[in-house]
Amino acid sequence: MAADAPGSWSAAPTSSPGPRTATTRSRVLFLCVHNSARSQMAEAMLRAWAGDRFEAHSAGNAVSQVRPEAIAVMDELGIDLRGQRSKDVAEYAGQRFDWAITTCDENQEACPVFPGATHREYWPFDDPSAAAGSPEERLATFRRVRDEIAARMREFIARPT
């Protein structure tokens, strides 16, 4: 699923499976190197679009800060990242997750691993933080990656549980 134009995603999900209670929500941990953009956007999307079914978290190998460009492009969807913080994967040691989803490119980066998950998936996305160019060109890269994550997230949410 692709957006018609950059920024054309809405914060509302396209489909809404039946409600689930807090005790039956699946726990999902999104992982990337710095937990500053890709995994932060994925965490916020899942929480905004399917928080009734999923408990979303994110972490990385090296604590950083949430990138201002990620905040800006998520604002365009009506999703606020300002309350999120970069977290080290060690904060989740010993916890159980239903899903651990790696959002970085394992061929290009030292992606974190989380062994305490029932299911593991690999969603390779370019690192928008590495984008060069003018501020407008960098934001365009963040939007592209955001839209790629959004498409993958909608597929994940639409899966039968």
Catalytic residues: 32, 104, 111
Residues in the chain, overall count: 161
**Residue 77 exposed, middle or buried by CB count within 10 Å (0-12, 13-18, 19+):** buried
Euclidean distance between CA atoms 28 and 13, whole angstroms: 18
Dihedral sign, Cα of residue 85, residue 11, residue 37, residue 138: negative
